[in-house]
Amino acid sequence: MKDLGDYRKSYEKSELLENAIPEDPINLFHKWFHEVEDMDSAGEVNAMTVSTIGLDGFPKSRVVLLKKFNEEGFIFYTNYDSEKGKALVQNPNVCLSFFWPAAERQVIIRGIAKKTPEVISDNYFDSRPGGSKLGAIVSPQSNVIPNREFLENKLKELENSFQGKEIPRPDNWGGFLVKPISVEFWQGRPNRLHDRIIYTSLNDFSWKIQRLAP
């Protein structure tokens, strides 16, 4: 087996300098997001790791899909009765992280999560394909189930019962908006001297910009 210590890569694709960044991290995130999208069109640029503190006191991370971002924050959707949903209701402190290897970039966001208004969850649910809508109803997310057939049989039942009918959003499914309190941008550089710029939210709604050692 190859020694993992022998895995080496030199990061040389870009740089992140204070004289070439905006005052607002959302603007820089927007720029990076679309640059990566153009660079890696086959990947899921909106895939992000969501880290929460579980009801058992342990941190847990999992990959979900970012569905919207703007000056208010970052939105994703989930089952509110799932492990992550319950964790975020009890402790809304959350960390989101993006890893974009094609661009040798990472973004790490610390923030506070809150449920989106019902109308936002309704509008997004209505935009989903029918199969995805039924999947949200079928799956008792994070609960133990007996086997795969359990889900498939429930899906068939729902397909029959909702045939030709509108599929409503379940009350226990919807969005979380993560309002950032800090956003760190990481750009790989040669010799492991990576660029790390962190934006920290201030009380006057401006952002403090600092460089971190790699």
Which residues face 93 on adjacent strands?
Answer: 112
pLDDT above 80 (res 41): no
Return phi, psi of residue 158, to 5°.
-70, -40
> Binning pLDDT at 50, 70 and 90, where does residue 43 land?
confident
pLDDT above 80 (res 6): no
Instruction: Tell me how far apart the alpha carbons of residues 91 and 108 are, in angstroms, rounded to a whole number.
Output: 19
Q: State residue 201's pLDDT score.
A: 98
**Residues that are catalytic:** 192
Q: What is the mean pLDDT of the chain?
A: 95
pLDDT above 90 (res 197): yes
All domains of the chain in start order, with CATH: 12-126+172-212 (2.30.110.10)
> Binning pLDDT at 50, 70 and 90, where does residue 40 land?
confident
Nearest to 103 by CA among 23, 188, 162: 188
DSSP 8-state symbol, 90: H
pLDDT above 80 (res 42): no
Return phi, psi of residue 34, to 5°.
-80, -30
For 165-180, what is the mean pLDDT?
A: 96
> Binning pLDDT at 50, 70 and 90, where does residue 10 land?
confident
